[in-house]
Structure 1
C-alpha cells in the first residue's frame, strides 16, 4: 500500500479527498486483481505539492499531518483516479465523428481527407486544437498520443493548446506523400524536414513530446518510410505512431503497393519503424507470425474498439495479443471512434471481447485507461498513477451521474460493482472534474457536485 511518512507535510501543499483508486501494476484480466496491483482507499486523501503527487493514503492518517490552513477539496463521495490516457486519437477529426455509412478507405476519402484539408488555415487549426483539448478534459482525459494533419501549423496549434492547459501530449505531423488529395500530401523530403523541425521545437518542451507519424503505409512512398525510419533511429526516445491491419481492403492494398514485403507488418519492420516506442493502431487482422514479431520488437498495439465496430473493421483479439506478450493500450480513435470518453471506450472493448468469447474485467479496463496506457507511451514515471513524484493529473468520477448509474449504484456492494457500472453505463456526465498537474481544469458545467454514494465494501472482488 502507498503510505506516507510520519513527518508533517510542507507548507504550500493542497489536498483532495474522496474515494481514491490507482494501479501499481497490471492487475491481470481475472475476476480478482493480483495482490499488490492497486491501492484503494474508501476515504482517501491525495496530497499535492507544486503540481506533483506528494502522498496518498487514508484521510484519517494524512489530514492531521497537513499544515494549518492547507486547502482541502472534499469531492463529497467522488471516486478519484489518475487522469485517463488515450493511446490513439485524431485531433483534426472531431468534425467527422459519427459520419454515416462507410468502411475505412471510403470513409477516409469521403469524410476525413476533406475535413483535414481545412487545417491549412492556421486560425482554424488553433480553434480546433483548443476545442479538442477542452473536450479531452471534459471527458476526463489528461494526456494521450495524437495525430495532427500533414500541416505543420496543426502540430504547433495542438501543442500550444496543450501547454496552455498544463497538459502533456505526444503528437506529430502526418507524413503522407502519395494516395491522398493534393491539398493534403506533402513531399518526401519536405515531410522529413518538417517533422525534424517540429521534433526539435516541441519534443521535451515542458510536458510535450513528439511522435513520428506516417499515416499508414499506403500513403507513404518507400522513400518517405525510409526517412521516417531514419528519424526514429536518430531520435530513439521519440514515439512512432501509425495505422496497421485495420481493414481487409487496406491489407490487400498494402500487398499490392509493397509486393516485395511478405506482410503488412514487414513493411514497417523493413523501414526501421518497429520498436518499443512504436504504437500501431488497430492490429485486427493479424496472425501468429505478426504477434511473435511484435513481441520480439516490443511494438505496441492501440485497441480501438469504437472505431473498429463503427467502421465494421473487425474484432480485436485482446486475449491472444496478451498471451503473446504484446503490450496493448486502449484508445478512442476519434473520429472513426464515436466518443472521446474512455468510459465509453471501455464499454465497447468489453463488448468486443464478449463477441470473441473473452472478457474484460473492470480492473483491467481501468488499468488500461490509466497506468497501462502510460506504460504504452513510456510515461509511467510521469503519469498514470498516484505514486509520489508523478504529475497530479486526476479525474473525479460521479458514480451517480445519470439515472441509470444512480439506480445501479443502489444495488452495488463492492468496488468492482461500482467500476463495472461506470465502464458500461458511464460517459462524460460521470466526469465531475478533471485536474492537470493539481489544477482543476474542468468542472461539470451544470454546477452539480458529486453526491455521497451508497456505501460499498472495500472488498476488491466482484
Structure 2
C-alpha cells in the first residue's frame, strides 16, 4: 500500500497503553479513550490519534473523513493459540483431549497432504478470523510443510501479521502424520522461506511432548538457539490423562515442564497452550524465563479439561494470554473468548473486568508475543490493524446500551453479548479487509 496515502476515520477510540490492573477502574495512564476521536493513517501505519476537535484543523483542506460516530474503534484482536487445520471439526461432539485427538484431529489433519485443500482452508480460516475482528494469530498448521506454505501465502496476499508453524510429530500418531527425520529439515526450509518475510513470523511447533521424541524436541531447541527471533508454540498440562502419559514417557524428568526445559524450548517467545495443571513452582519457572500460557477458556470447557487459575498466574508473575484454540474452542470471536474467560473466572472466584479482558486481547497478547512494538495499540508509528465495532449490531445490544452509563459498562456488555455481527469492519495493514454485510 502507498505509504503516503492518508486515511481519516472519526469514531470513539479505545486503546490500552499498559496493564490496567485488577480494580474496577483502570489504572491512571493505562487507557487512551477519545469519545469523539480521529484515527489518522498514512498508508499501512498510524500517523496520529486523538480528539477530533484537537486534530481536525490539521487535516488537508480536501480531506475525506470517514464518519463512524456511534461506532467504536479498538486495536485488532490477537489470538495466541489456534489450529487453522481444525476449522472443519469445530463443534464435533465433545470428547476428552486424547480421544479428541484420535477421533477427530488426526483424521482431519491427514487431509492437509493435499495442497489444494490446504489453500482452500487457509483462505476460509482467514475469512472467518477477519470477520471476527482478529488481525493477528499464532497458528498451528498440520505436520505437512505444504499446509504452512499455503497459509503463509494466503497471509502474505492479505498483508497480515501472522505467526505460523509446521507441527513436529514423530511418534504416537498415525503414520500419515508423522514426519520422522524430515520434520526439522522441513522446518528449516520454511524458516528460510518465510520467517521475517513481510509481516510473517515462524513458530517452531512440536505438537506436545507425547508426540515428539527427545531427539526431535532437542533438535527443535537447537532451531531456537540458532535464531532468537523465532517463536515456540506447543501444549502443556491441559488434561490429567495427558500428565500421566507424559510421566510414563519421560520418567527421568522432574515434571511436564521440565521435558520442555531440558530441550531448550522455554523462553521469552514461548507460548504453552492451556497450563491448567501447574503447581506454583512450574509457574515461577515459566515466569523466570518469560514464557506465557495461552488461556483457552472455551476449549477447556468444551473438552472438560479444567479451569485455568488466573490468580495463581498473577501471584507467581507468570504471563498468560487469551486464545480461541479452534477447533476444540467453540468461538473464533475474541468476544466469545472473553465471555468464556469471564465464566471460568467466576467459577474460581476470579472475576474478569472488561478492562482486563480487552487489554489482554490487544496490547497484553501483543506484549506476550514480543509484538508490542508493532501491534496492539492505536498510537503513532504502529501498524494500522484495528476493528470498527458496532455497539448497536443487535437489538439486544442496543437495549442494553441504553442502561449503560459508563465506558466500563459498555465494554462489559460487548464482552458478554457481542459476536461477529458487532464487527463492522476489520482493517489490517491500513486496508479494510472485512466489511460486515449490511
Aligned residue in 1 for 2:57: 64
Aligned residue number for residue 20 of structure 1 = 13
Cα-to-partner distance string for 1:211-262 (whole Å, 9 max, x where unaligned): 0000000000011001001111111111000000000000100000000001
1:91 corresponds in structure 2 to 84
Match of 2:395 in 1: 403
C-alpha distance in structure 1 between counterparts of 2:115 and 2:390, whole Å: 37
Equivalent residue, structure 1, for 2:226: 234
Unmatched tracts of structure 1, length 5 or more: 1-9, 448-462
1:273 maps onto 2:265 in alignment: yes
1:142 pairs with one of 126, 135, 159: 135
In 2, are the aligned partners of 1:399 and 1:422 still within 8 Å (CA)?
yes
Q: Distance in 2 between matches of 1:210 and 1:49?
A: 28
CA drift of 1:319 comes to 1.2
Q: Distance in 1 between matches of 2:21 and 2:326?
A: 27
Tell me, yes or no, if the aligned pair for 1:291 and 1:321 is still in contact at 8 Å. yes
CA distance in 1, matches of 2:142, 2:80: 17
Corresponding position of 1:455: none
- 39, 54, 68: which one aligns with 1:75: 68
Residue by residue over 1:392-425, the C-alpha shift from the partner in whole angstroms, topping out at 9 and shown as x without a partner, is 0000111111122111001011000110000001
Q: TM-score by structure 1 length?
A: 0.93
Aligned residue among 218, 234, 253 for 1:261: 253
> Which residue, out of 251, 265, 271, partners 2:243?
251
Aligned residue among 106, 109, 119 for 1:113: 106
Two-structure CA RMSD over aligned residues (Å):
1.0
Contact 2:11 2:35 in 1 (8 A): yes
**Within 5 Å, which residues of 2 pair with 1:234-383?**
234-383=226-375
Query: Which position in structure 2 is the counterpart of 1:458?
Result: none
- Name the TM-score, length of structure 2 as normaliser: 0.98
Cα drift, residue 298 of structure 1: 1.1
What displacement does 1:76 show?
3.1
Inter-CA distance 268–65: structure 2 relative to 1 (3 Å threshold): same
Contact 1:12–1:70 (CA under 8 A) maintained in structure 2: no
Structure 1 residue 69 displacement after superposition: 2.0
Contact 1:372–1:384 (Cα < 8 Å) also in 2: yes
> For 2:203 and 2:148, how far apart are their aligned partners in 1?
10
Matched, 1:437 2:429: yes
Please tell me whether the aligned partners of residues 232 and 270 of structure 2 are also in contact (alpha carbons under 8 angstroms): yes
Say how many residue pairs are matched.
436
1:261 aligned counterpart, secondary structure: coil
Unaligned runs of 5+ in 2: none
Say whether the 8 Å CA contact 1:11–1:67 is kept in structure 2: no
Quote the offset at 1:11 in angstroms: 6.7
Tell me what 1:178 maps to: 171
Instruction: Judge conservation of contact 2:280–2:312 (CA < 8 Å) in 1.
Output: no
CA distances 1:243-296 after superposition (whole Å, capped 9, x unpaired) = 000000001000000000010000000110001110000000110111111111
Correspondence for 2:377 among 360, 385, 390: 385
**Distance in 1 between the 2:149 and 2:293 partners?**
26
Question: Which residue of the partner structure matches residue 169 of structure 1?
Answer: 162
Deviation at 1:60, TM superposition (A): 1.3
Name the SS of the counterpart of 2:170 in structure 1: coil
Retained in 2: the 8 A contact 1:84–1:140?
yes
Paired with 2:203 and 2:234, the residues of 1 have a C-alpha distance of: 10
User: Cα distance, 1:326 vs. partner?
Assistant: 1.0
